[in-house]
Structure 1
């Protein structure tokens, strides 16, 4: 892992999400939110707005990841757990959580969504490789879980994704001496399992819409460690 890899880095992001385009992107976000709040579906509305503003595919994806109907955001925030973690079992969407931290550690583009979660544009697509940022990301999670004084952390990894077994080994090795239990489950149906749990760590909108409660851990880590240097922030749209 001596090779330096920037997870999620795309050179054209520096232009497409630079100062020149931020104003246009935020204006497009306001109009997308307007449509969503009036019942338009995200696919049709984002296509319409993207065409109107001549947005690139990644700019459109950033809008879709960042903007949600205000009612959905309110419901998500109502289920967000912000304290009282002591003695609890925490259920972690492994690839979702670790990859976003790797992207932030790489100074690649991240999105702060209306619901406060941090999302990325990296895309898994069934393949994953351990990089030089992976161990750091896992250690940051371990540090935060220790601060929470949790009883147990369960990482759920998608079985069909390549190198899930290797990532499991890294998680267990790096977190073995901490003051809480650690388990890693490699399964086929991560999303459907997490949707039934409480104290879920994920930024996946479908999961946090359906789960009993969730924790915005990546946002807390990224803010505390000042990792979000390349962040498009849509979180203030919730108050529009």
Structure 2
């Protein structure tokens, strides 16, 4: 499995998501939220907002990750659990989602705080997962969190069709054995549905998953906001 230097950041990101962009994003996100809450299709709403505010494709991807309708926000909020629910609990981790977000965080690339409180990034596996310099640090972070909060079990679920999923499975299993962690790793052809079907507390920032699982925990949000792990965050909050 080849290894890159870092995860997620592009040369123009400091301009696209800099201080001057924040006001534009705040207005654009407000408009997108309004349209989605009135049942406009996401495609049409994005097109309208992107045209009005002259957003680049990368900015559009970012604002899409931050947006939600009022109904969606209500659903997500109703399913969120707090840290005190995790002691002794079994968690299911959305494998690539969590791992890539942590790699992005530790690469100092931009994370985008959505209206639902979730942090998301602009990285994607495109059918192939490649390790980066921060992969080991990301897994060590989860292991430390697991021990510190006395979590019962973690079930990692990864997309089987993604190239190198077998290798990251082996890497996690080796760490689990070395550190005596009660972890298991599963490869699934339809990982999203498999995660939802577990009916356990889910760790993910994937919008579809957190809206459809039984309960979810905002792991990345907790690390940034409560444990104060340094992060490069783009948010429209003042």
Match of 2:166 in 1: 165
CA distance in 2, matches of 1:227, 1:176: 29
Q: Does the residue aligned with 1:203 lie in a helix, a strand or coil? A: coil
Match of 1:36 in 2: 36
Say if 1:146 and 1:178, in contact at 8 Å, map to a contact too.
no
Say if 2:88 and 2:151, in contact at 8 Å, map to a contact too.
yes
Gaps of 5+ in 2: none
Superposition deviation, residue 173 in structure 1: 2.1
Match of 1:181 in 2: 182
Q: 1:227 aligns with which of 209, 213, 230?
A: 230
Say if 1:159 and 1:188, in contact at 8 Å, map to a contact too.
yes
Match of 1:20 in 2: 20
CA distance in 2, matches of 1:95, 1:4: 16
Q: Does the residue aligned with 2:133 lie in a helix, a strand or coil? A: coil
Match of 2:48 in 1: 48
> How many aligned positions are there?
235
Q: Does the residue aligned with 2:10 lie in a helix, a strand or coil? A: coil
Say if 1:32 and 1:45, in contact at 8 Å, map to a contact too.
yes
Per-residue deviation, residues 32-88 of structure 1 (Å, max 9, x unmatched) = 111112221221101101011110001111111001012211211111111221221
CA distance in 1, matches of 2:43, 2:228: 34
Match of 1:85 in 2: 86
Gaps of 5+ in 1: none
Say if 1:150 and 1:180, in contact at 8 Å, map to a contact too.
no
CA distance in 2, matches of 1:179, 1:163: 24
Q: How does 1:35-184 map to 2 (within 5 A)?
A: 35-82=35-82, 83-178=84-179, 180-184=181-185
TM-score, normalised by the number of residues in structure 1: 0.92
CA distance in 1, matches of 2:147, 2:47: 43
Q: CA RMSD in A?
A: 1.9
Superposition deviation, residue 226 in structure 1: 2.6
CA distance in 2, matches of 1:227, 1:97: 17
TM-score, normalised by the number of residues in structure 2: 0.92
Q: Does the residue aligned with 2:93 lie in a helix, a strand or coil? A: strand
* 4+ residue runs over 3 A deviation: 1-4, 177-180
